[in-house]
Amino acid sequence: MSLLSTRDLSKNFGGLQATRDVCIEVPRGQVRALIGPNGAGKTTLVGMISGRIPPSSGQVHFDGADVTALPAHKRILRGIAYTFQITSVFERLPAGENVALAARRRLTGAEVAEATAQALDRVGLLALKDHEAGDLSYGHQRLLEIAMGLVQRPRLLILDEPTQGLTDSEIGNFKQLVRELAGDTTILLIEHNMSVVMETADRVTVLNFGEVLAEGTPDEIRADRGVQAAYLGTG
Q: What is the pLDDT of residues 181-209, one digit of tens each?
A: 888 899 999 998 999 999 999 999 999 99
pLDDT at 226: 87
Residue 138 in any domain: the answer is yes
pLDDT at 38: 87
CA of residue 42 relative to chain centroid, distance: 11
pLDDT at 184: 86
pLDDT at 230: 77
| Number of domains comprising the chain | 1
Q: What range does the domain containing 93 cover? A: 89-152
pLDDT at 31: 97
DSSP-derived secondary structure for 22-89: EEEEEETT-EEEEE-STTSSHHHHHHHHHTSS--SEEEEEETTEE-TT--HHHHHHHTEEEE-SS---
Residue 118 in any domain: the answer is yes
Residue 112 in any domain: the answer is yes
- Which helix or strand (DSSP H or E) is residue 149 part of? helix 138-150
Residue 147 in any domain: the answer is yes
Taking the CB of residue 148, how many other CB atoms lie within 10 A of it? 27
Residue 106 in any domain: the answer is yes
> Which tens digit of pLDDT belongs to each residue from 134-159?
999 888 998 899 999 999 889 999 99
Residue 22 in any domain: the answer is no
Residue 194 in any domain: the answer is no
Residue 169 in any domain: the answer is no
Separation of alpha carbons 196 and 52, rounded Å: 26
- Which helix or strand (DSSP H or E) is residue 9 part of? strand 2-13
**100 phi, psi to nearest 5 deg:** -65, -40
If the chain, 235 residues long, is cut into consecutive pieces of 10 residues, what is the mean pLDDT of each piece? 94 93 96 93 94 96 97 92 75 95 88 95 94 92 90 92 88 90 91 93 95 95 88 58
